[in-house]
Amino acid sequence: MPDDVSALGGDVRRYLPKSITPLEARPQPGPQKQKPALDPANIPGLLASLAGTSIFAGHRDSGELVNLHSGDVIPTIASLTLPAGSFAIFAKLNLTRSDTTASVIGNEVTCFLAAGNDSETANIMVEGWGYDVTVAPSTSYVEGATELGMSLMITHRSSVGRDVILACCAGPAEAEPMVGKVAYNDLRLIAIGADRIFDQEL
């Protein structure tokens, strides 16, 4: 092929090797399609699917605990339905003295978190407004711990769906009115799913 292709005349493509396609004969890219914008509302769900994690959650703003009589069954105050799988389950609530009677000593609040055979129990004393005066009259007046937080946690795995329950009570009812009343607020019940759970003795 001559160095000066202009001297050849005619269509110079006949002199090109068959494996080379002239630039103007190559397919040209069409207009680029715009990628759809990611809706921020879908981000939590997207991250959960990428991580292989599902989160089930429930909440209740407020309520009042029941003072139980001896032998009574602790009532359920919140529950959450879970599918089959493995979960780390958390419960949290704030406890508040709901009466202002100075003679009230306090309530021992008991809470029970359970899913199947997995459970945890916690106890806490919500004291009365005049706790120190009632128990030790010789001391100066000091308010008791009338506002407290309580939290519980369990791990659970099951091949079938189950309900996780949170049951709580204040009491004993036989000691009324000395024990007074206890309210709860900002209750949260959360179950975080996982591929597997490694639970060991510490």
Fold of 53-194: Jelly Rolls (2.60.120)
| SS3 category, 119 | strand
Check: CB of residue 81 under 8 Å from CB of residue 161.
Answer: yes
Above 50 in pLDDT, residue 50?
no
User: What ranges do the domains of the chain cover?
Assistant: 53-194
Of the candidate ranges 117-131, 146-160, 182-196, the one whose mean pLDDT is the lowest: 117-131
d(CA 190, CA 118): 15
Residues 6 or more apart whose CB falls under 8 angstroms from that of 176 comprise 67
Count other C-beta atoms under 10 Å from residue 165's C-beta: 18
Q: What is the pLDDT of residue 80?
A: 92
Residue 96: closest CA among 130, 62, 123? 62
pTM value?
0.66
Q: Which tokens go with 24?
A: 């103007």
Residue 181 amino acid letter: K
Higher local confidence (pLDDT), 84 or 131: 84
